[in-house]
A and B are shown apart, each in its own frame.
Chain A
Amino acid sequence: MRNPHRTQKIAFFLLLLATLLIVVPVGLIVVIIIQKGLPGISWQFLSDIPRQGMRAGGIFPAIVGTVYLVTGAIVFALPIGLLAAIYLSEYSKDNFLTRLIKLAIVNLAGVPSVVYGLFGLALFVVFFKLGASILAGSLTLGIMILPIIITSSREALESVPYTFREVSLSLGASKWQTIRHIVLPNAIPGVLTGTILGLGRAAGETAPILFTVAAFYLPFLPKSVFDQAMALPYHLYVISTQVPNVDEKIRYGTAFVLLALVLFMNLVAIIIRYQFRKKKKW
């Protein structure tokens, strides 16, 4: 007869193995990039323009470009996303329209990033004649991170207890006053978490900016939102596939800066979430 306890031991061992197969490579990736990237980081690398066909110098224009793009995306996506979340959590009824909105959000989240790039090209660059510009790229990235912001803001709003609203309404406050002064302040940390996660996503994406903003090589800073710009993820793509004989230090250094930027944002989001959970009074 088969021994169920031995079967269990074997099964649990295999499950542990599966887990290690995911977690260990993740650790290795991070360690490799830190180990090989950190020595290439210097003030000069961070503050200089790329030189000698991107084989020397720094990555300053790419950093600035990414900061512009991410800021633009959030300026566009946060108000729309937050208001959409307020609609879903405070106003919507359980009807067909709400079902449709939720389905649309799921789909926006699932559209491949390169399709966002095509969409941005067709709508912003060609149709609105913005050209390849920071504005076109920011709007494209903004639509892409909208579902992240809506979903996390909605969760934050819905986690505010219903009694808070009832008390406020019973004191004669209007619905909007209740949302503005009671619900929103209690949901801020959750909204912030979602916003930062959206920022991280926008900073790391390459495909949506390929045709909407990214400049292959631009040794000066953009002057307005209608200019093209370099961006960190695209720059990493370029120096690792398009330009031969780039020093390993520059490649790993760029990968390190991008990874550090994205992980830092995620870390901040995690800390805010953790603090919020700890302080939660209800």
Chain B
Amino acid sequence: MVVRKVKEFIIEKLILICGIASIFFVLLIFLFLAKEGLAVFKIVSPSSFLGGKSWYPISEPPQLGILPLILGSAIVTLGAAVISVPIGVGCAIYIAEIAPLKIKEVLKAGIELLAAIPSVVLGFIGMVTLVPMVKNVFHLPTGLTALSGSIMLAFMAMPTIVSIAEDALYSVPKTYKEGAFALGATHWQTIWRVMLPAASSGILAAVMLGIGRVIGETMAVMMITGNSAVIPQSILVPVRTLTATIAAEMGEAVVGSEHYFALFAIGIVLFVISFAINVTADLFLHKRQ
């Protein structure tokens, strides 16, 4: 009996430790990013790091301004949001409200399929199909542009947007819909005037999480946006995002160099952005419940 009690005591403590492991890992990630990244602020001030217009990390002395990278991420993300939000929310409405049961299952499987495709495969497909298409349609010297990145990333954001927005629409109480129908509203009027407003906080969370996915996406964006770290003047030029900069340059950066610290500092920026997005989206999702 005593042995069993001791054994159970140990197991239950182990379960508790694993339970709080997630908190531990989040702190650990932040700690190690900070440990390596904050060192860069001995060389540049935070304002000239975030607002500096030139990124030449290996020139002498290195110029470590990430404004071109922030703007690169911003333009690609904005483009992806403009494409993916209406299409994604539209698809969620179609699946949740209109599609017959059998088609609904097929569509949901298709969306899951898209979510499962590795980003490097999407990047590869983008390189061989989308990039030449963009080049020819807009008569550009290269198809590796922010626009190509936006289109590809829009696809990667859609599974997130569709599935969370669809959940939000499902969780609207059935009585709302019945009430609207009883007053003589058409199905579309019910969706537009009753369902969408009722599900709005969940849909907002869906959009935010989709955008979070876009900002954090690395491989596909590195393969098709052309990797040019200058301030973008339009959506039809090559850009370089925050994520792509880390992925492309860390391999060459010497551990402990200014360049290495600066790339970790970019990691902190990304971590803080994704943290803010996820916490806010979580608040919206809980408000609904």
- Where the two chains meet, the residues of A that have a C-beta atom closer than 8 Å to any C-beta of B are 4-5, 7-8, 11-12, 14-19, 21-23, 25-27, 29-30, 32-33, 79-81, 83-84, 86-88, 90-92, 97, 100-101, 103-119, 121-123, 126-127, 143, 146-147, 150, 174-176, 200, 203-207, 210-211, 233-234, 236-237, 240-241, 251, 255, 258-259, 262-263, 266, 270
Contact = CB atoms under 8 A, between A and B. Distances in A.
A115 B188 contact: no
B113 to A, nearest CB: 6
A91 B12 CA distance: 9
A127 B36 CA distance: 11
A88 B19 contact: yes
Q: What's the dominant secondary structure at chain A's contact region?
A: helix
B23 interface: yes
B236 interface: no
Given A22-B158, A211-B250, 10 more contacts: A19-B90, A84-B22, A91-B15, A104-B23, A107-B278, A108-B26, A113-B119, A115-B216, A204-B121, A240-B223
Residue of B14, B117, B189 with highest tally of chain A CB at under 10 A: B117
A221 B246 CA distance: 28
B82 interface: no
Contacts of B125: 29, 32-33, 255
Contacts of A100: 23
B32 A115 contact: no
B246 A114 contact: yes
A196 to B, nearest CB: 11
A18 B91 contact: yes
Given A22-B91, A207-B218, A262 B118 contact: yes
Contacts of B251: 210-211
A112 B218 contact: yes
Contact of B18 (A87, A127, A210): A87
Interface in B36-92: 36, 86-88, 90-91
B29 A119 contact: yes
A25 B155 contact: yes
B192 A11 contact: yes
A66 to B, nearest CB: 11
Contact of B271 (A8, A111, A146, A147): A111
A30 B141 CA distance: 29
B118 A14 contact: no
A8 to B, nearest CB: 4
A203 B109 CA distance: 20
A200 B116 contact: yes
Contacts of B4: 174
B267 A19 contact: no
A22 B111 contact: yes
Q: What's the dominant secondary structure at chain B's contact region?
A: helix
Given A15-B91, A107-B279, A236 B120 contact: yes
B66 to A, nearest CB: 15
Given A111-B216, A112-B217, A207 B247 contact: yes
Contacts of B189: 4, 8
Contacts of B110: 22-23, 26-27
B270 A112 contact: yes
Given A7-B188, A101-B23, A104-B22, A83 B107 contact: no
Contacts of A83: 14-15, 17-19
Contact of B112 (A32, A237, A255, A266): A266
B72 to A, nearest CB: 14
9 contacts: A23-B110, A26-B113, A90-B15, A119-B32, A127-B32, A204-B118, A211-B251, A233-B118, A262-B118
A248 to B, nearest CB: 8
A148 to B, nearest CB: 12
A200 B115 CA distance: 11
A210 to B, nearest CB: 6
Residue of B99, B118, B127, B187 with highest tally of chain A CB at under 10 A: B118
B247 A210 contact: yes
A108 B192 CA distance: 35
Q: Which 10 A-B pairs have the closest CB atoms?
A: A112-B216, A204-B118, A87-B19, A18-B90, A83-B18, A8-B188, A110-B278, A104-B22, A122-B32, A15-B94
Given A87-B18, A114-B243, A14 B90 contact: yes
Contacts of B112: 266, 270
Contact of B33 (A88, A115, A237): A115
A126 to B, nearest CB: 6
B288 interface: no
A29 B186 CA distance: 37
A118 B33 contact: yes
